[in-house]
Amino acid sequence: MRYRCFEKTWVLRFERGEEIVSALKAFCAEHGIALAAVSGIGAADRVTIGCFKTGTKEYIRKELIGDHEITGLAGTLSTMGGRPYLHLHVTLADSDWRTFGGHLDSAVVSGTCEVVLHQIEGRLERVYDEQVGLNLLKL
């Protein structure tokens, strides 16, 4: 991964073969980034997305293999247990222009991926909410 920082805005370029979610978490831990807004675009050929089922409080997951454009990547970085915690959503398009979207669990870069990380001063922790079944921002 390559990156540049402009004040508190980081511009990152992920290389072919890098897994976006784990690499982004590691980057934030290494640079002490605890709170940020995330956006991006790119291409991936192995992606796992999820959809939260509120009735069962479980994610169902789908793996997508093959060329996909990341037409939109958006989310937040906060912390949970003092470690970086990403909550990312993604929209993808395949070569037949079908789109898929959901919670991003993982994505392996096939061409490139450009992410803008807008660092926010401060810190927000996440806590598990048993009623909802999710790790929610503690506001």
**CATH architecture type of domain 2-129:** 2-Layer Sandwich (3.30)
Q: Where are the domains of the chain?
A: 2-129
Q: What is the pTM of this model?
A: 0.93
Instruction: Identify the pLDDT of residue 86.
Output: 98
pLDDT digit string, tens, across residues 97-109: 999 999 999 999 9
Instruction: Identify the pLDDT of residue 5.
Output: 86
pLDDT digit string, tens, across residues 41-95: 999 999 999 999 999 999 999 999 999 999 999 999 999 999 999 999 999 999 9
Average model confidence (pLDDT) across the chain: 97
**Rounded distance between C-alpha atoms, residue 45 and residue 25, angstroms:** 20
Instruction: Identify the pLDDT of residue 6.
Output: 87
